[in-house]
Structure 1
């Protein structure tokens, strides 16, 4: 591997962190039998393939339940850390997916009062960070909560007429970071992560309300993170993102990350917010345009970008109504292993395409392996992906994460997508009704709206509420776009994978 500088300076500003969320990788490999191939058709580890495309960091989620738990996420972090990648840990504070409309309190936690729940928060953060330290993994970024625009740890921590309860809980979690640091953990950058980073009214309402309450101060927060997707709202333009992030940079003087984003290679049912091609080329152009926004923020405060789940092959739509947002093309034919071949868009972070003619060939963006301790074995969670569809542009996204682990045949499914849309007081956010599953099973339901009074009152559920559903596991043994792990003879991706790299699908 070739060396890469961890903090290059470009024009006096620190170079952007460039990463991918690879939380589902161990599930795809262990449960789906996924074998990764680079653009030249050579088998390689996914981190080597994406590293050749300029990736220098990996984002990983951690839950409090059986799935994506410490015994899953830590070994995955050890694997990527050992390969030289910086680690961004996204703590959900939930047994399952956490997002603005659905932030379930862990079932094992004492939620009888704000105080008992705060104590659980503090202990959870402290013990998690200590475990990562013991396992030889230093965290670069720690997100306390995932898309916490409406609060977290519902119902106690849901933002209502005041930020009080939420602020106490978030502060307790932040104190857990300090506890771990006092015990020897390296200080990570502590992030607050919101959805809809393009909506300046909503994000301004949140931070003004939180800091005005007084429990959480600006000193408690090191960096700001925002999700930015093109398919939930036509108002999610690059211009709107620029205006919103510029306002945040000027107001809070904190480094800013786009913590989640995607762009489709297949999308016929959604009006996207920008006019890039629906293809691998469009994926690169979208990400490069966001990087331009970040690099243009005042005082060099644009800090980094993360593409959400490029290899989550059982859920190609990644929680959207689009057909596919992955950076890999998958052959779902009769092999006992699943062959996933990289699209040209894996070079979205590279200044120029790097040849991938061998398993070891890398670009200059590939990190240098670092010494690390701890086991690299992992347990694998299984979730149930579901289909989703979008009706008209005025409807809100609906996702449902119920009925996990219903398969008795060992066919593990994952569902993704942590981006949630909402409306806020005067600003109205439009979103898509959706569910998730590899095999389309479309249903449409009424669209929820969350109303919020900026700077004074948190969002309240007015007419409808987003739900997320993970029922109906794919249990079909034939034609279900699902592969279980196997040990059959492998073949090259050129013969086993049909690549739809730069083919453009027209939007309706």
Structure 2
């Protein structure tokens, strides 16, 4: 289902006239689109890239009172101001292709939300263990590969621009710990190639949205050695980018989330001091059934990000908080099994 239900004035009148009350069975109307404004300040948001696929599968979302509510409007009501969306090149199904991304981005824009676009430069998931070239790019030499990356970036961003969406941030790659588009752009074997790919993405972004900030995104935000290797290598090889993005999933830190957050803050401050870059936590997550603990984790991480030297901590975004009911086996959302937000989401209200 890609159409948002809109309750007409006549229908509301009929309900009132007959004394009917079916609030828990209706979808709250999407608010009138906010006028376009240039937004500043701390970004609090969510990656909701699964949204259209979840809607097509019949998933619905509810506020704390049990009233069915359009998902992005619900995120806004919970204190979020930013929506992040991933892009795949030629996915097997249509999810996360350019058209799907534009449709979701328009919905976010119409609600006055800020937009971040996340290019995976793959037909499927790109992450620390997978940086697979799109099938259509497999036979390209490196020069042609850079051209393809640039053309894809420009095409998607121009489609967004045509649809009236201005993107504030653009990721050139997702969790590129060891580079992207392997083997050509593997950082450990050819940092120069990796840097050139990042720069190709940067130039393409700036040609469409000159004021957008380009993000290089690395996982394990507490791992200073990884960041020095990757970000330092990019800078030493002349790569152009604006922001260092981090993933923070504290279950991978044996000492717990409090220690992880301290290490993340130390790493963020080091990145600012060492490379004079802004930093941003673009992905977080914790098991949905640890909601109270997750709220503590998020509240602390948001405070620490706001405390980064020189106000260079730009924001914190939750990864797919609306996923629920063991959606695709993912259990680190922030909604319960009835489709309602847990108390973890309260961390974004302040």
TM over 0.5: yes
Distance 1:84 1:349 in 2: 17
Q: Secondary structure at the match of 1:38?
A: coil
| Cα distance, 1:313 vs structure 2 | 2.4
Distance 2:326 2:307 in 1: 33
TM-score (norm 1): 0.58
Q: 1:326 to 1:301 in 2, by over 3 A?
A: same
Distance 1:302 1:81 in 2: 23
Find the partner of 1:124 among 137, 140, 152. Answer: 152
Q: 1:145 to 1:238 in 2, by over 3 A?
A: same
Q: Is the 8 A contact 2:170 2:213 kept in 1?
A: yes
Q: Is the 8 A contact 1:37 1:44 kept in 2?
A: yes
Q: Is the 8 A contact 2:199 2:241 kept in 1?
A: no
Query: Which deviates more, 16-25 or 161-170?
Result: 161-170
Aligned to 2:199: 171
Q: Is the 8 A contact 2:322 2:341 kept in 1?
A: no
Q: 1:313 to 1:144 in 2, by over 3 A?
A: same
User: What CA RMSD, in Å, does the superposition of the two structures yield over aligned residues?
Assistant: 2.3
- The 5-angstrom pairing of residues 387-398 of structure 1 reads none
Aligned to 1:194: 218
Deviation track 1:389-421 (CA, whole Å, cap 9, x = no partner) reads: xxxxxxxxxxxxxxxxxxxxxxxxxxxxxxxxx
Equivalences, count: 313
Q: Is the 8 A contact 2:283 2:317 kept in 1?
A: yes
Q: 1:71 to 1:155 in 2, by over 3 A?
A: same
Aligned to 1:499: none
- The 5-angstrom pairing of residues 141-290 of structure 1 reads 141-180=169-208, 185=209, 187-214=211-238, 216=239, 220-234=240-254, 237-266=260-289, 278=290, 280-290=291-301
Flag the structure with more relative contact order, 1 or 2, with Cα contacts below 8 A and sequence separation at least 6.
Answer: 1
Deviation track 1:201-237 (CA, whole Å, cap 9, x = no partner) reads: 11011111111123x1xxx212111001111232561
Q: Does 1:330 align with 2:337?
A: yes
Q: Secondary structure at the match of 2:137?
A: coil
Q: Is the 8 A contact 1:88 1:139 kept in 2?
A: yes
Q: 1:349 to 1:4 in 2, by over 3 A?
A: farther
Deviation track 1:272-298 (CA, whole Å, cap 9, x = no partner) reads: xxxxxx2x2222211110011111111
Query: Which deviates more, 132-141 or 45-54?
Result: 45-54
TM-score (norm 2): 0.83
Distance 1:192 1:37 in 2: 34
